[in-house]
Every structure is written in structure tokens, then in C-alpha cells.
């Protein structure tokens, strides 16, 4: 097993840049509200295989880890063995989140995020050992292989979101003397009134400044005059649907879950039946 440093091992970048990256097909929206954090996500997935790509709208991208933590991910979230002799074990991001949650006493949020970050980084490092060029082709330069979002209560009992990114960072070989230039970072996400999204188009529509964002806002006003667009569940669901008008890899029913000081609950569960830990 290849071990990574427990400190930050990926060059620091603005979290708003990580969470607003058009390279991700998935759109996950993070909404901070008084007494709760809400996660929303689309359900479109594209399965790639030699026979061609298959689009399906039944993916579950949000997971309840017990009654205390919500988890969501976007990026290269699994590895499937190509043959019985493939030396790399299969894994997927949601199973790794369950493993991390179970390993941490009291399920403390940052520790769960840290364990997940280390395990997933190890998986990518092992993949790189056998197929470095293939791993390098997984994401464009500067774009993480995988981003994990953990929402729950921190060690002080306050609601918090931690964003984990796992990525290629060639500076690791000189900066950390790493044999393999793949590392991770775990960062808290600052609460704010405006929702965050992992998809650049969704974030553009949330911010409402561009011509197409203004056009979408006018559509919403005709549809639901009294319901706010960016602070209501229905409004954000509408923005995710409109994202699909510009990004064909976003679509399908929207799922949503919330975490409060006491528990996690589903708000919209359309394709996540049976996904709870």
C-alpha cells in the first residue's frame, strides 16, 4: 500500500474554483441555511465502454452516512477491473465513504473526510503505479480526479462542510519528495448565503449575472412568482434542470438531502432508494 502525507499535499487553490468547474458533468449544489445544510444533485450518469456510451438518469450522487453525515462526490468515482488478472482492486467513492464513516469513532466530520481522502488517494496512487499515462488522462491539468463533499457537525458541534479533492500535482515530487505525484487536500467550505455548485453553468445561473442566467430567472418568475429562485428547494431544482439545457451530461430527477444539528433526512429521494448507510 502506498501511503500519503497526512498534511496538505496538493497546492492550494481557491475553493470557489474547485467547486465551480465546468469539467464536471455532475452538478451538486450546497446550500447553507439557518440550522441546516442542504445538498442537491442531478442523477445523470454516462457509462463508457468499448461499445459506446450509455446515458442513464438513475444515478444516486448523495448518500446519508448514518444520522450525522451527508456525502456527495463528483469526478472519477470508481474503478472497475478490466480482467480477472487486473492487479488493481475495484473500489468506488461511496463505499469508501461508508468505510471511512465506520472507522472513525463518534463519526467526527473532519476525521471521516480525512480517512476517505487518504484511502481514495491511495487507490489513485496504486492505479498510477501500473498505468501512469492512463491516470494522467483522467482529468485535464489542474482539475481534480475526484471531489468529495462531507456535510455534518464538526468537533465543536457546529454544522460544517468539508471539501476533499484528490488530484495530480507534479510539484509533490520536489515539495514533498513524493514518489507518485498524486495527493489530497481537505478544506472547510465557508458558509454563505449564495449556494455553491460543482458545475460552472449551475453556478452561473445561481449568480444571475449573465444573459442566459437572466433569461432563466425570467422563466422562473413566470412559473413561480412568489417563490425565491436561489433560496428555495424548488428554485434550485429548477436551476439544475435548466443546467441540462446547456450541459447534456446533467439531467434526470433531482435528489436532495439535509443535515441539521440532530439528523440527516431526505427532502427529495427519487433515485437513491436503498442507498442509506
* Residues 169-198 pLDDT 10s: 999 888 888 899 999 999 999 999 999 999
Residue 235 lies in a domain: no
Residue 67 lies in a domain: yes
Residue 106 lies in a domain: yes
Per-residue pLDDT at 3: 42
Per-residue pLDDT at 86: 87
What tens digit of pLDDT does each residue of 20-36 get? 554 456 899 999 999 99
pTM above 0.75, yes or no: yes
CATH number of the domain that residue 121 is part of: 3.60.20
Per-residue pLDDT at 53: 63
Residue 224 lies in a domain: no
Q: Which three cell numbers stand for residue 79?
A: 474503478
Residues of the chain with pLDDT under 50: 1-8, 14, 22-23, 50
Per-residue pLDDT at 19: 60
Please say whether the dihedral angle defined by the alpha carbons of residues 248, 254, 255 and 256, taken in this order, is positive or negative.
positive
Q: In angstroms, rounded to a whole number, what is the distance separating the alpha carbons of residues 110 and 96?
A: 15
Three state DSSP letters for 128-182: HHHCHHHHHCCCCCCCCCEEEEEEEECCCCCEEEEEEEEEECCCHHHHCCCCCCE
Placement of cell 499515462 in the chain = 133
Per-residue pLDDT at 49: 53
Residue 170 lies in a domain: yes
Residue 144 lies in a domain: yes
SS3 35: coil
Q: In angstroms, rounded to a whole number, what is the distance separating the alpha carbons of residues 172 and 7?
A: 12
Residue 219 lies in a domain: no
Per-residue pLDDT at 12: 53
Q: Which three cell numbers stand for residue 272?
A: 437513491
- Structural domain count, the chain: 1
Per-residue pLDDT at 55: 83
List the domain range (segments joined by +) for residue 65: 15-194+252-268
Per-residue pLDDT at 18: 54
Amino acid at each position: 500500500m502506498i501511503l500519503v502525507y497526512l498534511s496538505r499535499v496538493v497546492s492550494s487553490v481557491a475553493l470557489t474554483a474547485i467547486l465551480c468547474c465546468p469539467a464536471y458533468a455532475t452538478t451538486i449544489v450546497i446550500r447553507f441555511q439557518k440550522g441546516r445544510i442542504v445538498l442537491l444533485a442531478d442523477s445523470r450518469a454516462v457509462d463508457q465502454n468499448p461499445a459506446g456510451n450509455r446515458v442513464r438518469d438513475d444515478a444516486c450522487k448523495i448518500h446519508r452516512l448514518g444520522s450525522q453525515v451527508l456525502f456527495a462526490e463528483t469526478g472519477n468515482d470508481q474503478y472497475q477491473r478490466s480482467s480477472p488478472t487486473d492487479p488493481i482492486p475495484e473500489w468506488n467513492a461511496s463505499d469508501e465513504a461508508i468505510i471511512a464513516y465506520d472507522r472513525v469513532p463518534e463519526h467526527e466530520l473532519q476525521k471521516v473526510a480525512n480517512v476517505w481522502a487518504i484511502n481514495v488517494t491511495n487507490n489513485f496512487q496504486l492505479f498510477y503505479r501500473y498505468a501512469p499515462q492512463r491516470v494522467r488522462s483522467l482529468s485535464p491539468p489542474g482539475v481534480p480526479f475526484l471531489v468529495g463533499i462531507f456535510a455534518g457537525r464538526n468537533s465543536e458541534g457546529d454544522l460544517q462542510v468539508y471539501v476533499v479533492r484528490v488530484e495530480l500535482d507534479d510539484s509533490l515530487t520536489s515539495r514533498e519528495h513524493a514518489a507518485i505525484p498524486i495527493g489530497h487536500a481537505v478544506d472547510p467550505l465557508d458558509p454563505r448565503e449564495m449556494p455553491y455548485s460543482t458545475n460552472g453553468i449551475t453556478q452561473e445561473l445561481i449568480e444571475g449575472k449573465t444573459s442566459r442566467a437572466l433569461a432563466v430567472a425570467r422563466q422562473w418568475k413566470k412559473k413561480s412568482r412568489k417563490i425565491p429562485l436561489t433560496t428555495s428547494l424548488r428554485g434550485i431544482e429548477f436551476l439544475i434542470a435548466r443546467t441540462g439545457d446547456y450541459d447534456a451530461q446533467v439531467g434526470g430527477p433531482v435528489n436532495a438531502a439535509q443535515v441539521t444539528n440532530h439528523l440527516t433526512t431526505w427532502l427529495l429521494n427519487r433515485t437513491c432508494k436503498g442507498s442509506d448507510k
